[in-house]
Amino acid sequence: MSKYNGITDDTYKRFLIDAGAVYIGFTSPSNLGTLLGATRGGNSFVIETEIKNMQVDGAPGRVKGDARIVKSNASMKIKLVEITTAALLLALPGATSAAFPVAPGTATHDQIKRALTIALADYKTAVALVGEVAGQTDPMIFVIKNVLATGGIEIGATDGEEATIEITLNAYYDPAALTDEPWEILRPKEAA
């Protein structure tokens, strides 16, 4: 056993545990939105950042203060085992659903289809991945804003297993606030 480690009395109260749950329409910790459905295989929240070092003649390498963020993209990957109409519409931006067949009182299915158009209304205001923090009452919440799924869908169905769909959700900048990155992390405060 190493005598040098980072373990404290609070260590096991700071773990983010399990896969979490995905909510559409998040507004606050007291209003998470609508639960999307059960997942399998885990979920992920990613922030990709491109930093440029502004090099100048005479500098032997990177210089403190020469870094600037030139690109930042936030996304989530979710793996749904619950394949609902809402999940399919989320995965296929611009898609709509209608009763099928259309004759009144005979509908047996939701017919999902789309034209090659994405409207502003197709962007979800906010999607949250909500997870339990060991030793905390409140969850940790990872939020992406102005959300649109990209990449389409692939349904993996095999004998003896339940089908899943993986959806990649991307955050988009608000054109009125291009310096505000379209994501946030809400971490519960620790007891003093």
CA nearest 40: which of 87, 83, 78, 88? 78
Q: Model confidence over 68-109: pLDDT tens digits?
A: 999 999 999 999 999 999 999 999 999 999 999 887 778 899
Domains of the chain with bracketed CATH: 11-186 (2.30.110)
**pLDDT less than 50: residues of the chain:** none
pLDDT at 192: 62
The residues, any chain, with a CB within 8 Å of residue 118's CB and separated by 6 or more, are 93, 94, 148
pLDDT at 157: 85
Find the helix or strand (DSSP H, E) in which 186 lies: strand 183-186
- By the 8 A CB rule, do 27 and 128 touch? no
Rounded Cα gap, residues 107 and 117, in angstroms: 26
Q: In this structure, which amino acid lies at residue 173?
A: Y
Which phi and psi angles does 79 have, rounded to 5°? -120, 100
Stated pTM of the model: 0.90
